[in-house]
Amino acid sequence: SAIFDFSSLITVVLLFIVTCTYLRGFRSTIFDNAPSADGAINRHEGLLGFCWKASRIGERKSEWVGLACVGMAVHV
């Protein structure tokens, strides 16, 4: 039901970004893939890759994510 309501969708996305950022800060290698046997560069794919990207957004754009969270708190 959060898909059809824009404010609920934004709230879910913000909570996902904040949660992934917190988990990465708590345990820094949680979303990293295990090193491959042939030494190839690891790609962040699948669900863990999506969580890794969300945590990077939370780290790099923390001011904007925080401002969006405050805005959603005022809105709700």
**Residue 21: inside a domain:** yes
Please state the domain count of the chain: 1
**Residue 40: inside a domain:** no
**Residue 38: inside a domain:** no
**Residue 37: inside a domain:** no
pLDDT of 43 strictly over 80 = no
**Residue 27: inside a domain:** yes
Residues 6+ apart with CB under 8 A from 7: 72, 75, 76
Judged on CB neighbours under 10 Å (0-12, 13-18, 19+), 58 is buried
**Residue 54: inside a domain:** yes
Q: 63 lies in which domain range?
A: 6-32+46-75
CB of 71 within 8 A of CB of 20? no
**Residue 41: inside a domain:** no
pLDDT tens by residue, 3-40: 678 888 888 899 999 999 898 888 877 777 655 556 56
**Residue 22: inside a domain:** yes
pLDDT at residue number 41: 60
